[in-house]
A and B are shown apart, each in its own frame.
Chain A
Amino acid sequence: MFLQLKNVTKTYPGVVALDNVSLDIIEGEVHALVGENGAGKSTLIKTCTGAITPDKGTVVIQGKEFTALTPKLSVQNGVGVIYQEFNLVDELSVAENIFLGRAKRKGLVIDRGAMEQEAAKIFEQFEINIDPKRLVGELTVGYQQLVEIAKAISQNAKMLIMDEPSAPLTQTEVEALYAMVEKLKASGVTIVYISHRMDEIFRLSDRVTVLRDGQKIETLNTADTDLDKLVTLMVGRELTETYPKRNSSVSDEVLLKADRISGEIVDNVSLEIRKGEVLGLAGLIGSGRTELAEILFGFKPKTDGQITLNGREINPKQPKEAIQEGIALVPEDRKRLGALLDLTIKDNITVSILERISKFFTVDTKEEQKVADYYKEAIRIKTPNLEQKIKNLSGGNQQKVIIARWLATKPDLVIFDEPTRGIDVGAKSEIYTLVNELVTSGKAILMISSEMEEVMGMSDRIIVLHEGKVTGELERKDFSQEKIMNFASTN
């Protein structure tokens, strides 16, 4: 037994995040942790690392029992974490990052050589091909993650908690990550692996624990279970099809026409979106998908080209103008660009329509309440209270609040940028249903997604970008993963 949680309970105002959870992590195993957003996974991780102290219960690491574990103690006892957001300094070298705060010194001078040697040794052990002298900022996300792992190993981590490690990675990088996990396991490191992706759980883990509503539902041997069983345990009910069918058809009427648009990364892109259509935008990270969306939305400047909406040329200089024209953008980076974290859920829903519901500069608070209540029901935002701060919600519910904000502006075109990233199965399917409702009511959707299945499952048509240019367009009958990948990587 490497780590045990004994009867851990943690409550936050209004919610029980963990409810009397006990859990055993066996030494040397890969233990997957699954559950919907808000199931208590993050709180569980924070309990293991000492980032929070539970109200009740204890953490036992290698036989030592802790009632008040601190981050420092957990590191000393061999617990390492790879968070979704890396703790790396772009301007420092790989070796310096690995030894950040523990720099090796010769007298008063930092001993770069020794740090680089040490780092190289770790890389060699795990067959990682990184030059310790390179700046972290020059590395791809996948390699940065490996640096994080090396950092944890250099601190003698015996157990690594990995929080959705595959989420930011490309397909090739994901393969490298899996290989890394297997090497770590072979060298005796215990791994707790949190993920929303079912395929990797079955591929990597020995055992899997399902959390739901702050409670531990069950720990299973991965080999003895299957996808349906796991999903049912997570959601607590049977899920219908992943990508619900639409019974509406795309209209012939063009809503938005982009003609030879150029800007940051985006190079001479033309496309049309029709009313009632979901247009998928595929491509690798850095292919200009997000930038194209931000140009259409007036968030990034357009250097060339013409945008026509409803037959009229528009030229939004800032999002405010795009919104007035009937465009909405649900951004990719929810924390940085979406949620106003210090404001309430209600404020977050209504922020984009405040001006519209004001008379003599004064907000009509009754109308505001009505709108917030309506969307809380309509898209099932799970909260006891709209006056709560949005940061207290789970990721999936935060995303719903952001979507509510945009629906309240009554847009004709909704651009979704990675709408289901980091969101659990249940919330995902609700968002898909919502997308279907929107197109059925005649709105148009531009959907950016890195998940092949999602973009193929949801779109009527897919446009593929590569290095800022359109490299291919596919009708629904022609969709295939290979075709999209080919377009996405052509030169």
Chain B
Amino acid sequence: MKNISTLNIAGGNAAAFARQYGIFIVLLILVIFFTIVSENFLVSNNLLNIARQVSMMGIAAVGFSFVLLLGGIDLSIGSVITLVNIVAAYLMVNADWHPAFAVIAALLLSAAIGFSNGWIISNIRMPPIIVTLAMLIIIEGVAYLISGGLPIFGFTKSFAVIGQGYVGPIPVPVIIMAVVMGLGGFILKKTYFGRYFYAVGGNEEAAKLSGIDVNRVKYLVYTLSGFFAGIAGIVILSRTNSGQVLSGKGFEFDVLTACVLGGVSVTGGVGKISNVLAGVLILGVLSNGLVLMDISQFVQMVIKGSVLMIAVALDCLQHRKAS
């Protein structure tokens, strides 16, 4: 075959450009739209507000996109957030632990839950959707058992810095998100195990035959998913200043939507952290804009559900086209 790469640049790159940056264009259009319909949208206060609101989603989305890359799913992250809220709150208030130790214990717990998901999925070979759904119910139950369904509050002031503090004009949660996302990007691009995520997600058997310890990769990915959800949980706890059994409810849905919007394929093997950030921001801008426009919560649900449906549909259509 002849090499005509020079000739083909125009046609090939338009499609590639759309795939790569289309999501940022969508974000831009949304921003322009809300700027026009609401005068309160494009003001620095509101923008920082959006950034702070999405930061928890952004933190959890890193681990979640790893799981999607593997071709799996982790429905338990919302419950992990809830449990982390309850456990950390309980340890600080009822057991009188220092916040630092309570945070560490809660994060270790979230990582352990993630590891359990990964262990069951790879050793018992159960479908990830069932394993993590069962886990969701189990740990939500545990959260209720610990708290009796009641909120736990009364933390020391210093703990509030994580969720409510600022460094200069930037909210601390936004900084945590930036660090976590940077770490996520580094893992995917630079580390060997990050590169394994793509190989395993693309073709598990071939990856195994190439010398990748597939089970270990799965343990790692689900552990990271639990761990990052745990960090998001701590930020939420610090923001709301009260441990509540509903704090993580439905969180997995927003995170899934953000990841798929950000171009992480639900069939595994394809995705980038920078685009996930765009997905997270789109969802944040959408929620914020709809609130500013005073659109009811129920209408918002319809809109968000439709966004997920469309995002997954586009992903699937692209796959069909490729094959």
Contacts and interface: CB of A to CB of B under 8 A. Distances in A.
Interface string A1-16: 0000000000101111
A15 B8 CA distance: 9
Interface string A200-218: 0000000000000110000
Contacts of B193: 361
Interface in B192-240: 192-193, 195-196, 198-199, 202-203, 205-213
B302 interface: no
B4 interface: yes
- The DSSP consensus for interface residues of chain B is helix
A15 B209 contact: no
B4 A319 contact: no
Contacts of B4: 11, 14-16
A385 B5 contact: yes
A361 B187 CA distance: 9
A409 B211 CA distance: 10
A352 interface: yes
A394 B1 CA distance: 10
Interface in A293-330: 297, 299, 318-320, 323, 329
A355 interface: yes
Interface stretch (A183-191, A237-245, A339-347, A457-465): A339-347
B320 interface: no
Contact of A363 (B1, B3, B192): B192
Contact of A15 (B2, B196, B205, B210): B2
Interface string B38-81: 00000000000000000000000000000000000000000000
A340 B269 CA distance: 10
B263 to A, nearest CB: 14
A6 to B, nearest CB: 21
Contacts of B12: 13
B5 A384 contact: yes
B290 interface: no
B209 A337 contact: yes
Contacts of A394: 1
B157 interface: no
B321 interface: no
B307 interface: no
Interface in B126-147: none
A38 B1 contact: yes
B8 A214 contact: no
A339 B206 contact: yes
A336 to B, nearest CB: 6
A16 B1 contact: yes
A371 interface: no
B190 to A, nearest CB: 5
A351 B209 contact: no
Contacts of A358: 191-192
Nearest to B198: A343
Given A343-B202, A362-B191, A352 B5 contact: no
B108 interface: no
Contacts of A11: 4, 7-8
A386 interface: no
Interface string A392-409: 001000000000010001
B206 A340 contact: yes
A342 B267 CA distance: 12
A451 interface: no
A17 interface: yes
B246 interface: no
A419 interface: no
Contacts of A384: 3, 5
A295 B195 CA distance: 27
A361 B2 contact: no
Q: What bracket does the count of chain A residues touching chain B fall in?
A: 35 or more
Contacts of B27: none
Given A319-B209, A347-B195, A13 B203 contact: no
Given A11-B4, A319-B208, A363 B195 contact: yes
A384 B3 CA distance: 7
Nearest to B192: A354
Contact of A361 (B5, B192, B199, B209): B192
Contacts of B195: 347, 351, 354, 363
B212 A320 contact: yes
A338 interface: yes
Interface in A92-128: none
A40 interface: yes
Given A299-B208, A320-B213, A341 B5 contact: no
Contacts of A214: 1-2
A331 interface: yes
A430 interface: no
Interface string B256-270: 000000000000011
B213 A342 contact: no
Contacts of B5: 13-14, 384-385
A19 interface: yes
A361 B7 CA distance: 40
Contacts of A38: 1
Contacts of B1: 15-17, 38, 40, 213-214, 394
A264 to B, nearest CB: 15
Contacts of A19: 2
Contacts of B199: 340, 343, 347, 351
Interface string B162-201: 0000000000000000000000000000111101101100
A354 B270 CA distance: 19
Nearest to A351: B210
Contacts of A347: 195, 198-199
A1 to B, nearest CB: 28
Nearest to B214: A318
A482 to B, nearest CB: 35
In this complex, the member of A319, A336, A385 whose beta carbon has the largest number of chain B beta carbons within 10 angstroms is: A319
A231 to B, nearest CB: 20
A13 B1 CA distance: 11
Nearest to B13: A13
A75 to B, nearest CB: 20
Given A340-B206, A347-B199, 8 more contacts: A13-B5, A299-B208, A319-B208, A336-B205, A342-B270, A354-B192, A361-B193, A394-B1
5 contacts: A318-B213, A319-B209, A339-B206, A341-B203, A385-B5
Top-3 shortest CB links A-B: A354-B192, A15-B1, A323-B211
